[in-house]
Structures are given as C-alpha cells and as structure tokens.
Structure 1
Amino acid sequence: MTENRTGAHGQSRAEIDEAYANASHIPGGMEYPARWAAAAAAFRENHPPQEIAYGDGARQRLDLFRPEGEAQGAVVFVHGGFWRAFDKSAWSHLAAGALARGWAVAMPSYTLAPEARIGAMTREIEAAIGAVADAVPGPLRLTGHSAGGHLVARMACADLTPGWRGRVTRIVPISPLSDLRPLMGATMNEDLRLDEEEAVAESPALLDQVDLPMTVWVGAAERPAFIDQARWLAERRDCDLVEAPDRHHFDVIEELADPAAPLVDRLLR
C-alpha cells in the first residue's frame, strides 16, 4: 500500500499525474472511448432506453433500460472519467448482462467538473437513484467505474440519508477512487478544485459507513494507485476485495455486458 496517501509530501505533480494515468499504460488505450461509444450506440439501436430527468440541469438525465417482463429490480451504473468526461450514452452496452437476467438498468449522466464540484456530483447521483427508485419497484443494486465507483461508494456513507437506501441490497464499486486527497496535487485538480475539506468530506475511505453489502472490484493489472484506492475502501468497509485477473482499468468493466460473468454474478447474487 502507498504509505503517503495525501500526495502532499515527496511527490511532484508529474509523479501524481503518472500514478493515475491509464491510457498510456494500456495497449491501444486511446482507442477505447471510440470503441465504447460504438458498442453503446449499437446496443441502443436494439434496446431503446427511456430517458428520465432527475433534475433541471442539462446533464441531470438518465437512461433506463427495461427487461422483457417485470423487472426483478434496478441496477444503477455510474460512469467514470475522473469526474470530467463522458456521459450516459457511452456505456449502454454494459447494461446487457443485468438486463438479460431480468433487471432494469439505469445509467445517469451528471454535471462534470469544472462546472460542478465533486460534492455536487454526489448529490446529483443521490437524486438520480431516487428517480430510479420511483420508476422501478424492488431492490436496487449500485455499481460504477472509477469516478463512478467513488460516487456509488459515497452512497454508503453515513452523512447521506436518502429515503431509498433501505432498498439497496448490494454496492459494487469498480476501480473506485476512495481517498481523494492524493488528487489535490494532480493537474486534474485545476478542474476538480479539491481542497482539504472537500477531499476529506468526499472520500468514502475516510468516512463513517452504513451497513450495506459491498464488494470492491478492481483489475489485478491496473496501475498500483488504483489497486491501493480499492484496497483502502475495502479495508474501511471490512468487505470483500476482488482483484480480477489480467484486467486493466479499461477492460475491467467489460464483464458487465456478459450475464454469466463473475462481476455480474457478484452484483446480482
């Protein structure tokens, strides 16, 4: 585990940036966003979603994919992008696994940095899940990737008291950012605008927790900083940590498209 979690001493900005870089360390890493967008568009052609507004903001919208017949409940997937990139439209194909097993799947967009700070994004995701709870009866399962993993992990922190929380039966943060303090020294913080107060207040690995089933999932071939972040959250939660063999930060989410994959099994079991 990284000994210095704050990034405030002994690490330059370049070193912090490198620690959290992904694309340059993954073969063909720059090709993944176009690949995701194409797969998502093809999926939506065959499975048109219902778009639901959960607020008045331009990005306060979610796509809801419904299975054939009555849904067993709803899975909410929150996308990543270091809180600065992407929206709901790039990930539609990842609904395939849970959808095939009879679950509705919701994918929200949320306001990105620098327009919004991370604390505001947390409240947007809280509201988005509330809209899903209103639209689909039954249990809720929450998952998200990278920054999205952070946002779903925040939903299990005691400072939030959403009315829908009693319906959540499992949370699976995938490659989550759980202690935001190291990012204060990164170039991306010019957009995020994290200070010490907000970094602590928005770090699931530092906050009091509520008793909800959680499994933290990370690729075993990810950057050491992301494996550290996943371990910090699992330690704080005293919950299972799965290091998926041979998976890196960009392909660790691919199992969500496969109804028989271990990641989907863990999310829906």
Structure 2
Amino acid sequence: MDMDREYANGAFIPGSEGLPDLWAQKAAGFRAGLGARFSTHDYGPGPRQKLDLFRPEGAARGLMMFVHGGYWLEFGRESWSHLAAGAVARGWAVAMPSYTLAPAVRISDMTHEVAAAVQTAAALVAGPVVVTGHSAGGHLAARMACPDQQVPVARVVPISPLADLRPLRATAMNADLRINEAEALTESPCQHPLRASVQAHVWVGGQERPAFLWQARTLSESWACDWTVAPGLHHFNVIDGLESPGSALMAACLDGL
C-alpha cells in the first residue's frame, strides 16, 4: 500500500490549490471585524508560541480552542481566525494557537506546546474548556484528553484526526516528522484511554480519504465515544461548520456545557 497516496488530500479535492489564499483572506477579514475583542498572547518564549484570542460581546460562557492542521509541517493560527465565528456568536471565547513545526521539533514537543497553550488560555477565560482541532490539529486536540496530559479540558472534538501515527512512518514526510516506533505509540491518542473527566466526540467527513475515515473510527472505538461521519464533506470543508453557530459541528463542540 502506498501510504503517501493514502494520506494525500489535495490531490483528490478539485480546486484545493486555491484554498489557502481563501482561508487567509477570510481569517484576516474576521480579525478586522472583531476590533478590540481580538488579542494575541504568548504562551511560551518561542516565536510560534503565541495564541490569538477572540472574545464575544459580554462575558464569555467558556473557552473553545481550535488547533490547526497541516501535517505538523505547515500553517499557523493566522489562517483560521474565521473558524472562531460560530463559537463567538454563541457567546464563547475562542483561542487559536500556533505551535513550533517539524522538523524544528518532534510531535511530542508540539503536544507539550499545545498543553501550555490550553493552560494559558484557560487562565484568561473563565468557564469550561473545549479543545477541537483538524487533522494534525485533531491529533493534538485528542492528546489533550489523554491521561498523561493533565490540562483543564471538559470536552475534545477531534476533526478528521490522525489518531494512530504508525502508518505515517511509511510516508515521505516522515523524513521531517521523524516519528520513530516509540513516539508512534506514545503520541497516538488511540493508544491512550480517554481521561474519565473528559467528554469526546470524533468528527470526520464522509467524502474523506479512506485512511482518515479509518483513523476517526479507530479513535472512536478506542475511546468508546460518539463519532459523526458528516455526509458529503471532504477533508478541507469538514471544518466549515465551525463558522456557523447553528451547525451540527458546533453543537457537538458546545451543546450541554
């Protein structure tokens, strides 16, 4: 089996080459429209150890954090600000961190950075904390619910997560990721139990690559938690529901808290 093909997304989504520019434009527009309710905070000394915070009008009901994807190799918080729109409209604050990318650090280091970002953001906003994330960010969001990460999280909603890192060792990108056998086990959320105090709901698009459907199901079965296969959605538009306060994805993230 060709693992590079199995984990390729853009090659199977027409028009995907234009999406990064579109995301960046929408993100910049959302930040500009928020005015003083947008701020940036350090959660560590590194140049990428920063998070953007988007506040609703009035007191926040709680905090949702979104962790971006990009196979731990690319992107940053600046491209995804518009995905805070749904939660902010529901009265929640939203934090979006950047984190140091490979090959500068290992995936285990990114896990520690996101944990530090959660701690920092939780100190800025009172109320329950929900962590969601997409793809590689879904992996990092899921790691926040594992017993070895004692962060103040009430619920995680990994979107199209990479829950089992072992197949990634056979891809060309592992030259930069450097996932070894030990890290593939310790950093795979499906190899950890779900922390008893944390709720979880796994989300994935019905038109995703089979490898991502397998990853999502693997995590949901390992954790015995709910999972949703969103019909008709592929790997890049599965996150669009975060823009809408009334979407099913936003309900999975925030309802009941």
**What TM-score range do you get, normalising by the shorter chain?**
over 0.9
Unpaired runs of 5+ residues, structure 1, are 1-10
Match of 1:236 in 2: 222
- Structure-2 residue corresponding to 1:115: 104
Which residues of structure 2 form unaligned runs of 5+? none
Q: How does 1:202-213 map to 2 (within 5 A)?
A: 202-211=187-196, 212-213=198-199
Structure 2 CA distance, aligned partners of 1:246 and 1:108?
29
Write the distance in 2 (CA, Å) between the matches of 1:94 and 1:140.
17
Aligned equivalents of 1:182, 1:63: Cα separation in 2? 32
User: CA–CA distance in 2 between the matches of 1:21 and 1:31?
Assistant: 16
Aligned equivalent of 2:8, options 10, 21, 27: 21
2:129 and 2:8 mapped to 1: Cα distance? 32
TM-score (norm 1): 0.92
For residue 216 of structure 1, give the secondary structure of its aligned residue in structure 2: strand
Q: Deviations over 1:33-80 (max 9, x none)?
A: 111111101111101421000000000000000000000010000000
Amino acid at match of 2:160: S
Give the equivalent residue in structure 2 for 1:47: 34
Residue 92 of structure 2 corresponds to residue 103 of structure 1 = yes
Is 1:194 the equivalent of 2:183?
no
1:261 matched to 2:247? The reply is yes
- 2:233 matched to which residue of 1? 247
What residue identity is the alignment partner of 1:29? S
Could you tell me which amino acid in structure 1 is paired with residue 121 of structure 2? V
Q: What is the alpha-carbon distance in structure 2 between the residues aligned to residue 106 and residue 179 of structure 1?
A: 26
Q: Give the stretch that moved more between structures: 40-49 or 169-178.
A: 40-49
1:30 and 2:32 aligned: no
Measure the CA separation in 2 of the matches of 1:87 and 1:62.
10
1:160 Cα offset (Å): 2.0
Letter in 1 for 2:4: D
Between the aligned partners of 2:27 and 2:147, the Cα distance in structure 1 is 34
Hey, what's the Cα distance between the residues in 1 that align with 2:209 and 2:121?
33
Q: What SS class does the counterpart of residue 232 from structure 1 fall into? A: helix
**Amino acid of the residue matched to residue 219 of structure 2?**
L
Letter in 2 for 1:267: C
Q: What's the CA shift for 1:159?
A: 1.7
Alignment of 1:55-70 (within 5 A): 55-70=44-59
The residue that corresponds to 2:130 in the other structure is 141
How far is 1:268 from its partner?
0.7
Q: Tell me the equivalent position of 1:4.
A: none
Could you tell me which amino acid in structure 1 is paired with residue 217 of structure 2?
Answer: R
After TM superposition, give the deviation of residue 217 of structure 1 in Å.
Answer: 0.1
Distance 1:152 1:160 in 2: 11
Aligned to 1:47, what secondary structure does the other structure show?
A: helix
Letter in 2 for 1:69: G
Q: Secondary structure at the match of 1:246?
A: coil
Q: Deviation at 1:266?
A: 1.2
Distance in 2 between residues matched to 1:204 and 1:139, nearest whole Å: 22
Q: Give yes or no for the alignment of 1:227 onto 2:216.
A: no
TM-align CA RMSD: 0.8
Hey, what does 1:177 align to over in structure 2? 162
Give runs of ≥4 in structure 1 deviating > 3 Å: none
Q: How many residues align?
A: 252
C-alpha distance after superposition, 1:111-167 (max 9, x if no partner): 0000010000000000000001110011101100000000010011112223xx2xx
Distance 1:108 1:160 in 2: 17
Q: SS at 1:228's partner residue?
A: helix
Instruction: Compute the displacement of 1:241 (Å).
Output: 0.8
Q: For residue 265 of structure 1, report the CA deviation from its aligned partner.
A: 1.1
Alpha-carbon distance in 2 for matches of 1:158, 1:45: 38
Residues 195-226 of structure 1 show CA distances to partners (whole Å, capped at 9, x for unaligned) of: 00011110001123312110000000000000
